Amino acid sequence: LGPVTTSESKLKHLVPRLQEALVEHLGHDGGKRILSLAVERVLSRPYSMVIIWRLKTQDDLERIVSKTVVHHPENLAITDRANQAIVEYEILLALSRRFQQVEKCSVPRPLAIIPELETYIMEFVDAGNLADDLRYARYLAAREGFDCLAEHYYHCGCWLRHFQEFTGIRRAGPEVLDAAVDRCADRLRLIEQAGDRHWPAGLGERIMTFLHEQQACLSGEEVLVTGRHGDFGPWNILVGSNGITVVDFLGYREDTIAIDLLSMLVLLENECHCLTSSGKRLAAVRDRFLEGFGPVPPVQRPVLLICESLHRICTVWGCISQGRDDIRRRIERGRSLQHNRDWLSQLGKRKLLWPAD
Ligand SMILES: Nc1ncnc2c1ncn2[C@@H]1O[C@H](COP(=O)(O)OP(=O)(O)OP(=O)(O)O)[C@@H](O)[C@H]1O
Ligand SMILES: [Mg+2]
């Protein structure tokens, strides 16, 4: 094995099981024999352990990726609901076939699943992270880099439209919003517990009362639902010459059609709080994203209010829970926290980010 940097015992346990699963998978796939399987890199995250492996077979040397679910206390609502390795594996299997026909838009092809280890294996995507490319939306950044960034966001819009089409769009009762409202309550609880001086006591309760009223307004109505990525943002999008590849389907489920689109719009608005960001460039990136998506579907205002509130609440929690960092980042986080807090405290009186609002 190559150098192992973290969770030594978990890794030791995983390696032989993974090897076993791979031998079985590759045996079916043309009878290849594994000569060696070495750890190249371990990405130990709060919600997962991603390992990049070097796989040597008789006629090939390739990289593959395993992702193992971590049961983090902040994510138990998702990880206790179902085996998320199976959830991710299955949706990737369905989507990877469909995205084959879509230019510049893809998902990693899954290779095997080991349910008892809450692990699945997928192909390695040799690409950078779109979050790093947001630096091209700053003043004085290279024009070519910015054009490329805008193009990637256009493809993100295309990807989302196809994703919704592939997973299917249908009508459902307003109870589908329960998950979003519950997540708001959960994150607001954490925010209030943190006792940050920028978050007034009692605001969380006012917001929750407002969100329950919004849900009540929808009683007897139907809302549009589709597949939800659940964490649709540049941090989960890999970019290279083949366009964009969206990763990380942890928590995939059916949800309101507005949720993923608004996730990206809230993120792009939030980038404006970066001290060197160009508002004009970010607006152009947003327009390209929406152009890629195409016409937005009709969605009731209460649904939009719930979705946008959820993303803003998560943004506030992100600002509060972030560890110590440099002064510039602290200022940016402070700006973002205050802006989102002010939006939330206006209880629906502010303009929404949804393009038709
Ligand atoms: N198939 C892949 N090919 C190459 N890199 C990958 C692949 N899948 C995941 N990664 C890398 O691992 C990182 C983490 O994966 P993922 O987003 O699925 O897990 P996560 O627990 O949500 O982590 P994070 O909090 O960083 O988003 C990705 O940002 C990406 O850099
Ligand atoms: Mg992720």
The residue among 123, 157, 93 whose CA lies nearest residue 295 is 157
Q: Which two tokens stand for residue 176?
A: 């589908």
pLDDT score at 19: 74
Residue 250's Cβ-side half-sphere holds a number of Cα atoms within 13 Å equal to 24
Ligand 2 mean position, distance from CA 202 (Å): 31
pLDDT score at 28: 64
Smallest CA separation from ligand 1 atom 26, residue: 45
pLDDT score at 5: 41
Ligand 2 mean position, distance from CA 13 (Å): 24
Ligand 1 mean position, distance from CA 66 (Å): 10
User: What digits encode the pLDDT tens for the residues 6-25?
Assistant: 456 666 777 777 777 777 77
Residue 357 has pLDDT above 50, yes or no: yes
Residue 3 has pLDDT above 60, yes or no: no
User: What digits encode the pLDDT tens for the residues 115-147?
Assistant: 888 899 999 999 999 999 999 988 888 899 999
Quote the pTM value: 0.93
User: What digits encode the pLDDT tens for the residues 283-300?
Assistant: 999 999 999 999 999 999
Residue in 7, 44, 45, 89 to alter for ligand 1 test, most ligand atoms within 8 A of Cβ: 45
% of residues, the chain, pLDDT over 90: 72
**Pocket residues for ligand 1 (CB within 6 Å)?**
43, 45, 47-48, 50, 65, 67, 108, 122, 124-125, 129, 235-236, 247-248
Q: Which two tokens stand for residue 24?
A: 């079985």
The residue behind tokens 């939306």 is 137
pLDDT score at 2: 40
Q: Which atom of ligand 1 is nearest to the CA of 129?
A: 31
Which range, of 20-29, 167-176, 223-232, 327-336, averages the lowest pLDDT?
Answer: 20-29
Sign of the torsion angle spanned by Cα atoms 224, 226, 228, 233 = negative
**Radius of gyration of the chain, Cα coordinates, nearest whole angstrom:** 21
